[in-house]
Structure 1
Amino acid sequence: MTLRPPSHRVSRAAIRYWATRAAVGWLIILAAQIAWMSMADGDRPLRIAGIVATVVLGAAHATIMPQWRYRVHRWEISPAAVYTQSGWFKQEWRIAPISRIQTVDSQRGPLEQLFRLANVTVTTASAAGPIKVEGLDRDTARHLVGELTASAQATAGDAT
């Protein structure tokens, strides 16, 4: 059997979600820098350069990272296993046999709810930890949880 990328991509809405999440983080840093600049004396040109660097890095991160992650993040389930590929700098492939599934969970944080996204976590007996499929649209996540739960119940094995 040849190893290939899983066939399903996450939702395209995940691109906007990841960009928004990145932008919020950079805006917090930018706000702290602006507050620091307005409260402190001296080295104003250096602080302005820091703000400019933050804006440039933040804009690049919020633009490039979501596109890159979208190209990498994939998932697939087969009758035998759950496959995921994730990351952007550090990329990871995970494969878990259906017979090893212990629990299947779905989560949606406030920002994910705004973008109509959900995450699915498949817990196995693996020391590497659970497999996560992030950035799914809600209906796909709901279907995936149901399908994995049914497959795990129908599969002989002890899930350890």
Structure 2
Amino acid sequence: MDNATLRPPLNRVSRTAIWYWTTRAALGWLFLAAVQVVWLVLDDGDRAVHVAALAATVVAAVAHVAVMPQWRYRVHRWEATPAAVFTRSGWFKQEWRIAPVSRIQTVDSRRGPLEQLFRLANVTVTTASAAGPLKVDGLDRDTAQRLVAELTANAQATAGDAT
């Protein structure tokens, strides 16, 4: 089998990503619910509409927080070989990507405050592709550091101009 054939990547992201995605989603829904509660308290209008909107928000939030993180964990995959980087991501709209190592221009790692709390990191592989960079989100910090080092070494050792 050709090493650069589009295929399911072998590696899953960190299981901790499930908790990270759950927390991030819950915080977003909590903010929305808080705005609705303030609106309910301050508005003298029809409270039934406010309560119905808040109830709909709670139902949507519970469904989203319960389903999305597990679903994303099952879908998100990545793999790096000496020849290529493979990614699969998304949950409703899934994206499979492959980038030959010879096309890599930059490799970056990023960690926001919430990701730091969960000891996670994200790796972005920029190529000459018009489709944009490949992203591997939800890696544990040590795996992300190893991946960045491995991809950098592979890109430097590969002939090509990354264009």
Name 1:60's counterpart in structure 2: 63
> Does residue 50 of the first structure (1) align with residue 53 of the second (2)?
yes
Structure 1 CA distance, aligned partners of 2:7 and 2:43?
55
Are positions 1:18 and 2:21 aligned together?
A: yes
> Counterpart of 1:104?
107
Alignment match, 2:35: 32
CA-CA distance at 1:4 after TM superposition: 2.7
Provide TM-score, normalisation by structure 1: 0.98
Give per-residue Cα distances to partners, 1:103-141, cap 9 Å, x unaligned.
Answer: 000000000000000000000001111100000000000
Instruction: Tell me the amino acid that sits aligned with residue 64 of structure 2.
Output: H
Cross-structure match for 1:151: 154
Runs of 4+ in 1 over 3 A off after TM superposition: none
Question: 1:78 matched to which residue of 2?
Answer: 81
How far, CA to CA, are the matches of 2:6 and 2:132 in structure 1? 21
- Provide TM-score, normalisation by structure 2: 0.96
Structure 2 residues without counterparts, runs of 5 or longer: none
1:123 counterpart = 2:156: no
Match of 1:139 among 135, 142, 158: 142
Matches of 2:62 and 2:68 in 1, distance apart?
10
Q: Distance in 2 between matches of 1:77 and 1:138?
A: 16
Structure 1's unaligned 5+ residue stretches are none
How far is 1:56 from its partner? 1.1
- Deviates further, 133-142 or 36-45: 36-45
Deviation at 1:70, TM superposition (A): 0.2
Distance 2:120 2:93 in 1: 23
C-alpha displacement at 1:3, in angstroms?
4.0
